[in-house]
Amino acid sequence: MKKILEKMGFEGALSLLVLIAYGILAVYDSNRLENALSTLAGLTARIVPILLLVFGVMFLTNLFFESNALVRFLGKESGYRGWMLAIAGGIVSSGPIYMWYPLLSDLKERGMKDSLIAAFLYNRAVKIPLLPMMVYYFGWNFALVLSIYMVLFSVADGILVQSLMRKGTEG
Amino acid sequence: MALRKNWKAPKDAFSQTGRAFRKSLPILVSVLMLLALADTLIPKQAYRRIFTGNELLDPLMGAVIGSFSGGNPITSYIIGGELRQQGIGMLAITAFLVAWVTVGIIQLPAEALMLGKRFAIARNAVSFCLSIVIAVLTVLTLGMTG
């Protein structure tokens, strides 16, 4: 297993496992395979605009910002301004969480603190456009109280994650 | 904000971004395929069967199920709404809703590859615990405010 992982890399092994799972489904249940492929097509169609947006943001940060400028806003010395940026960025960013991994990975390499990455990802859960839907199912009070706790606890999440990390930028 | 004094040529910035994207794309495709598979194989009615009505166990189960689920949060609201109609407690439903959007077991391999294994495990573990804490606080707050 270790040898396979070394040879293919983890991403190769992951892709292979997923393909095997689809292969098994193709053999035993073609109807479900069809459903899975149609879900996949729907998901892909939904994420393409987000991928383009992420690509655009990455391109602009690469074009305009020196690493040291980014570190000043999102690194060790960023202070409350860094938290505000991470929280606001997480709330306004749209699309699935994993679409933002490439950008965050890029920013992490350039000095973004782990605590701020965690806070950004946590605030991805606060979805303003989806609030009416939450209100419809659970009421205004619930939606408001939960959203406030989510934002507050995103900071706790960031601090705890940073403290659990031995490596990485100190937070 | 301190911008570059000498801009990188757009071509350089574009190819740098392209390289980072090419590295991420196979992982993202695998995650999408996994999500589509999970969506197909896990029937929505399965969620109801997992909750037993136990006030201590249900929030934990809610967080576990939410962690293993993924996709659009709207789906979690719909499932949460149905669970509520079937008499499942708000503590369990809130833990489920919060874990759905903050913990991602299906995308954990992608997160580990792109942001580091230690980071991904720490973040998901902390978020899992916080989903229960937030559920308790939300229900208590709503109880106090009526």
**B-interface mutation test, from A5, A20, A28, A59, most B Cβ less than 10 A away:** A59
- B118/A165 CB distance under 8 A: yes
- B115/A104 CB distance under 8 A: yes
Three-class DSSP labels, B105-132 = CCCHHHHHHHHCHHHHHHHHHHHHHHHH
- A63/B4 CB distance under 8 A: yes
Contact A123, A151 (CB under 8 A): yes
Banded model confidence at residue B41, pLDDT cuts 50, 70, 90: confident
Residues 123-142 of A with CB under 8 A from B: 124-125, 127, 130, 133-134, 136-138, 141-142
For B138, phi then psi, to 5°, come to -65, -45
- A122/B134 CB distance under 8 A: no
Report CA A39 to chain centroid distance, whole Å: 21
Q: What is the DSSP string of A53-119?
A: HHHHHHHHHHHH--HHHHHHHHSTT-HHHHHHHHHHHHHH--S-GGGGHHHHHHHHHTT--HHHHHH
- B122/A164 CB distance under 8 A: yes
Distances (CA, A) of B65 to A167, B53, B59, B76, B101: 31, 15, 10, 11, 12
Please state, as a whole number, how many other Cβ atoms lie within 10 Å of the Cβ of residue A53: 16
For A137, phi then psi, to 5°, come to -85, -35
pLDDT at A155 > cutoff 80: yes
Backbone torsion region of residue A98, taken as left when φ is above 0, otherwise alpha when ψ lies between -120 and 50, otherwise beta: alpha
- A149/B137 CB distance under 8 A: yes
Banded model confidence at residue B7, pLDDT cuts 50, 70, 90: low
**Which of A55, A98, A161 minimises the CB distance to B119?**
A161
- Domain map (residue ranges) of chain A: 1-64, 66-171
Please compute Rg for chain B using Cα positions: 20
- A59/B36 CB distance under 8 A: no
The shortest C-alpha distance from B42 to chain A (Å) reads: 11
Banded model confidence at residue B1, pLDDT cuts 50, 70, 90: very low
Burial string for B87-109 (b: 16+ CB within 10 Å, else e) reads ebbbbbbbbbbbbbbbbbbbbbb
Q: Please choose, from the candidates A160, A164, A133, the residue with its C-alpha nearest in 3D space to the C-alpha of residue A146.
A: A133
Structure ipTM: 0.78
Q: What is the mean pLDDT of chain A?
A: 84
Contacts of B89 in chain A (CB under 8 A): none
The model carries a pTM of 0.76
Contacts of B2 in chain A (CB under 8 A): 65-66, 68-69, 72
Q: What's the CA gap between A99 and B54, in Å, rounded?
A: 37
Is the CB of residue A37 less than 8 Å away from at least one CB of chain B? Answer: yes
Residue pLDDT, tens place only, A19-58: 999 999 999 999 999 999 999 998 888 778 877 887 888 7
Q: What is the pLDDT of residue A144?
A: 95
Contact A124, B101 (CB under 8 A): yes
- B102/A125 CB distance under 8 A: yes
Chain A, nearest residue to B95 by Cα: A146
pLDDT at B29 > cutoff 60: yes
pLDDT at B6 > cutoff 60: no
